[in-house]
Amino acid sequence: MASVRGRQRQLSLWGAFAAGTTLGGAATGLGLGVLSGLVSPVPERVRLVLLVVLVLALVVLDALTPRLPLPQRSILIPQEVFARGMARGGLRFGLEYGCGWRTLVPSAAAYLAALFVLLVVPPWWVAVALGAAFGLSRSWAVLLWIGLGSPGWQTFLAGHSRVLERAGSALAGLLLLAAAWARLGG
Amino acid sequence: MGDLEDPDLPVVADAATGVSARRRWAADPLPLLLLLGAGGLLCLLLIPVSGPAWVVPALFGVTVAGVALSGST
């Protein structure tokens, strides 16, 4: 994105990227929503206890480890996705980035969101909406950079990226547990 | 121990480019994440999270999760 000159071009490229991240997240949400049907026979209280234990374990793991030691596809999205034009490339890059499992996952927050959908067993359309919200929000840092960024933005962010990832895990864990309690335990 | 004149250090780069700390944080996803988290917690306090309202903190939760991962673009 940094190599694209002009705010209008950057914004239109971000539009394609955000559409891709949203669609990618929605697709993952739909997949997880379908998979959650497999655990629906498990009693709600059991699923709630399992979710609490897993969320706490993942948040603590994220807080204590310098790099998240969880299974993930540890490769970057290839730059070749832009070979057929910037707009199409932005969309495809967004799809892979927004789905949450096609590239590096540096924070436990993605696992927390996936576990929530799997164990809470929401209606399919809620699973899609949650996935889309996750995907769309993954594009916001780029929008911030386009609107307010300045030289050295990435270096500054890299200095506290683990704080961002860990704070995200803790806050997402808290909010998702509250939602799960209301759905399964309330 | 890093050399303070190292141009890779963010603080030196900022001094070189004249970018204020306020502008740096305004363009950073961390304040946005904290704002979203606070908004979600406020919703928990204000809205009785029962019935279909459980979707509201869930949406805040997954949005916070997405922003937490957005720094690795």
Averaged in consecutive runs of 10 residues, what is the pLDDT profile of chain A (186 residues)?
75 93 95 95 96 97 88 77 82 86 85 96 96 95 89 88 94 96 84
* Chain B contact set for A164 (CB, 8 A): 29-30, 33, 67-68, 71
At B5, the pLDDT band (50, 70, 90 cuts) reads very low
Q: Does A140 touch chain B (CB under 8 A)?
A: yes
Question: What rounded mean pLDDT belongs to chain B?
Answer: 80
In the numeric block, which tokens belong to residue B37?
């988290």
Residue A124: its pLDDT value, please?
A: 95
| pLDDT greater than 80 at residue B66 | yes
Cβ of B14 and A104 within 8 Å?
A: no
Residue B73: its pLDDT value, please?
A: 61
Residue A1: its pLDDT value, please?
A: 59
Q: Give the DSSP letter string of A71-130.
A: ----SPPPGGGGTT-HHHHHHHHHHHHHTSSSS---STHHHHHHHHHHHH---HHHHHHH
Write the CA distances from A179 to A119, A165, B67, integer angstroms: 12, 21, 19
Least CB–CB distance from B62: residue in A113, A140, A141 = A113
Residue B48: its pLDDT value, please?
A: 75
Cβ of A182 and B27 within 8 Å?
A: no
Nearest-CA neighbor of B25 among B37, B9, B10, B5?
A: B10
Write the pLDDT tens digit of every residue in B14-51. 555 678 888 899 999 999 999 999 999 999 888 776 77
Residue A107: its pLDDT value, please?
A: 87
Residue A60: its pLDDT value, please?
A: 96
Nearest-by-CA chain B residue for A25? B66
ipTM of the complex: 0.91
Least CB–CB distance from B17: residue in A122, A152, A157 = A152
Least CB–CB distance from B64: residue in A141, A144, A172 = A172
| Predicted model pTM | 0.88
